[in-house]
């Protein structure tokens, strides 16, 4: 499980590595291009751009990503 967090008011994106299958759906449908597929795993590329819209969570077929 990777966790990305900063002290300010930035969102917190949790990616469960044991669940993610790297299908790339969340990255393609992210409106602000926050996520990026690296190898077989989803990673956070640009956390500042995240608007907490939750589209990645709602379209993830594998219960692998959450945004707080």
Partner 1 sequence: METVTAAKKKKKEKPVPFDYSNYIRKGKLPHIWCPGCGHGIVLKCMLRAIAETGRPNDDFALVSGIGCSSRTPGYVNFNTLHTLHGRALAFATGLKMAKPNLKVIVTTGDGDALAIGGNHFIHTCRRNLDIVIMVYNNFIYGMTSGQFSPTTLPGMIATTSRYGNIDPPFDVCKMAEAAGATFVARGTAYHYGELEKILHEAIMHKGTAVIDIIDSCPTYYGRFNKFKSPADMMEKIEKEGTVSVKQASGLPPEKLEGKLLRGVLCKKERLEYTEGYAKLIEKAGGSKPK
Residues 15 and 57: their CA atoms lie apart, in Å, by: 10
Number of residues binding to partner 1, judged by CB under 8 A: 22
Alpha-carbon span 56 to 7, nearest angstrom: 23
CA distances from 55 to 3, 10, 22, 28, 30 (A): 18, 17, 16, 10, 7
To partner 1, the closest distance from the beta carbon of 46 in angstroms equals 19
Binding mask 7-46 for partner 1 (x = CB under 8 A): ----x------xx-xxxxx--xx-----------------
Catalog residues that contact partner 1 under the rule CB under 8 A. 11, 18-19, 21-25, 28-29, 52, 54, 57-63, 66-68
């Amino acid at each position: 499980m990777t966790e990305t967090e900063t002290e300010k008011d930035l969102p917190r994106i949790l990616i469960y590595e044991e669940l993610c299958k790297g299908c790339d759906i969340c990255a393609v449908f992210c409106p602000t291009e926050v996520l990026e597929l690296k190898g077989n795993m989803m990673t956070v590329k640009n956390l500042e751009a995240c608007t907490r819209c939750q589209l990645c969570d709602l379209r993830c077929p594998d219960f692998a990503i959450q945004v707080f």
